[in-house]
Amino acid sequence: MTYAPWWGQFELQPGMMSNWEIGPLRLCMMREEKQWRLGWTTQGDPLSEARNLQQGLPAADMPEDLKQVRFGAGTSDNHFEIRLALGDRPFVAKPEMPLRILPGESVTLFVTTPVVVGIRLHDMKFPDMEIPVIRASDTWFGRDNTEGELCYASRTWAYMDIEQFAFWPHRAITAVIIRNRASTSLPLERIKLPIPNLSLYVDGDGRLRTSGLLLKRDDENDRAHARLLEGGVGDGDWTHVAGPRLKLKNRWLEAFSEIF
Amino acid sequence: MEATDTLGQVTQALNMMNVLRAGAVLLVGIVLIRLTMTLIRRLGRNNLPRQQYTLLTRFIFYALVVLLLISILHELGFNMSVLLGAAGILTVAVGFASQTSASNVISGLFLIGERPFSVGDVIRVADISGEVLSVDLLSVKLRTFDNLYVRVPNETLIKSNITNMSRFPIRRFDLLLGVAYKEDLGRVQRALEEAVAQNPVCLVDPKPQMIFQGFADSSLNIQFSVWSARENFLEMRNTIPQQIRDRFAADGIEIPYPRRTLTGSDSETPLRVEVVQPVARDMQDNPPD
């Protein structure tokens, strides 16, 4: 099944509004004579599969339960852009149950993370604001409570089969290939994904996907060697949606909680 | 007489030469000090912690100024050995008079060497909490959360327990609460964990932890410990109690009020207390016949 993207360039004439219901996000954009008015809430069901976009509605009062912001723009044209991006911190995911990868073996896990919606008015670089579709819970990933990194916790399990995920329009799927080249098995209870370093794509079915991640573990290092697989993992026609927030500088990652 | 005049003229000429030389030393010295300080600032600004950088630049600046003054006095013909001897005596006198300041300076050097905190950290010393504005030779300046400027002498800091609340990126909040004796502690723990799981600023890992504290007079006392990022600590501390209260109310878990059971001295049975209708005052004063 093919889905039309809910992001990209849009146009609104004065006195008109557009309305998005994407997962837990409800977003209203209204064009008035001398300003844009944006309203949003992310209080919906985090695992909702809602994917509704209504354009060209007559402007009505903004629902009171929405947070609102206005952009003064009397002279700009009537175009604006909805941009997607991945989260600004790494995500930590857990397998459905503790997993041990045997020596010499390789597994592929799939993890989903919520995207961030950016609103950009067509002819201005600023204002440009970002709305996380879900405020993910914070978590800590480190050797102890004094040394490590603040991350987000993925709300969904890491599965071995991509079909175990619902068709969420607001979550991007990351394929993680883990190769255990060490002489001992690799216990996998938590895995940290460098989400800000990944690019965002949409596959032929309309699912949001990210760059793939190849993590190799060996006997010599207590970190995993990471390689990004741009264009994704697997077959299919993927379209680029957004680049990474940050470049991956260090390819040796503390990715597995058990082998610090 | 002529010889005396000639000697006076020579002395005057020499003095003029000394003043000119001293002036030249002053000018060259100022230029050299400025160049040195510029170089040190460029090298140190990005390579040293802020407080060490500030201290180093000040120390070098004053040392160079003292050196310049000594050079100028020397050029003016002063006998430096006598001057330094006098300075030594003066130093002893000043030292006795300014023991506290000297102690603060020494303490300041230890503080800068040990680095228990840096500029920008939030610390607590005795009963004062605030952000560190500067670490100087004599004192540390703090800005308290109610926006007061506090100067804490370095000697006090060296002698006190200092708590640095900015050292580590995550912090733990210990919530103390009591539940009624009838409650199942396993059910209480599940309710607590589920309540904070909905709060995004509460860290998933390290996991929240419930610690049993004891059997109190009216309640089972427990400590519930939750972690958050340092910058979200206040938000977590203010949101968790309401979430737990709401969850307890939804699950029917009771947070008890203090209770007392009264018994007679010769009986284990509690005294029976019965609430009756209040009797009107005029009826008390004038009971019916």
Does residue B169 have a cis peptide bond before it, meaning omega lies within 30 degrees of 0? no
The pLDDT, as a whole number, for residue B240 is 94
pLDDT class of A58 with cuts at 50, 70, 90: confident
> Under a CB-based contact definition with an 8 Å cutoff, are residues A109 and A178 in contact?
yes
Residue type, A20: W
> Residues of chain B whose pLDDT is less than 50?
none
Spatial separation of the C-alpha atoms in residues B237 and B227, rounded to whole Å: 10
A128 vs A2, higher pLDDT? A128
| CB-based contacts of A227, cutoff 8 Å, min separation 6 | A213, A214, A216, A251
* CA-closest candidate to residue B272, choices B264, B284, B281, B283: B264
Residue A123 has pLDDT above 70, yes or no: no
Full-prediction pTM beyond 0.80? no
The pLDDT, as a whole number, for residue B279 is 65
φ/ψ of residue A239, rounded to 5: -115, 135
A62 vs B193, higher pLDDT? B193
The pLDDT, as a whole number, for residue A257 is 67
* Residue in B167, B169, B199 closest to A150 by CB: B169
Separation in Å, CA of A68 to nearest CA in chain B: 22
- What is the biggest distance separating any 2 CA atoms in chain A, rounded to whole angstroms? 68
> Under a CB-based contact definition with an 8 Å cutoff, are residues B25 and B71 in contact?
yes
Three-class SS state of B272? coil
The pLDDT, as a whole number, for residue B76 is 83
Highest-confidence range of A35-39, A188-192, B91-95, B209-213, by mean pLDDT? Answer: B209-213
- Mean pLDDT over the full length of chain A: 86
| CB-based contacts of A235, cutoff 8 Å, min separation 6 | none
* Residue in B197, B205, B232 closest to A140 by CB: B205
The pLDDT, as a whole number, for residue B206 is 93
Spatial separation of the C-alpha atoms in residues B12 and B24, rounded to whole Å: 18
Spatial separation of the C-alpha atoms in residues B230 and B166, rounded to whole Å: 7
| CB-based contacts of A229, cutoff 8 Å, min separation 6 | A175, A177, A211, A212, A213, A214
Spatial separation of the C-alpha atoms in residues B181 and B51, rounded to whole Å: 54
The pLDDT, as a whole number, for residue A122 is 65
Chain B residues close to A150, C-beta within 8 Å: 169-170, 229
A233 vs A70, higher pLDDT? A70
Residue A251 has pLDDT above 80, yes or no: no
The pLDDT, as a whole number, for residue B257 is 85
Chain B residues close to A189, C-beta within 8 Å: none
Contact state of B205 with A139 under an 8 Å Cβ cutoff: yes
* Span between the terminal Cα atoms of chain B, in Å: 140
Give CA angle at B126 (B121, B130), nearest 5°.
30
* Span between the terminal Cα atoms of chain A, in Å: 43
Separation in Å, CA of B115 to nearest CA in chain A: 17
> Under a CB-based contact definition with an 8 Å cutoff, are residues B263 and B269 in contact?
yes
Chain A residues close to B227, C-beta within 8 Å: 140, 145
Residue A18 has pLDDT above 60, yes or no: yes
Chain A residues close to B232, C-beta within 8 Å: 138
The pLDDT, as a whole number, for residue A211 is 92
* CA-closest candidate to residue A18, choices A1, A36, A45: A36
What residue in B sits closest to A149 (Cα-Cα)? Answer: B169
* Tokens 């800005």, located at residue: B143
Q: Identify from A42, A133, A139, A154 which residue to disrupt to test chain B contact, counting B C-beta atoms within 10 A and taking the largest count.
A: A139
What residue in B sits closest to A190 (Cα-Cα)? Answer: B205
pLDDT class of A117 with cuts at 50, 70, 90: very high
A126 vs A31, higher pLDDT? A31
The pLDDT, as a whole number, for residue A179 is 92
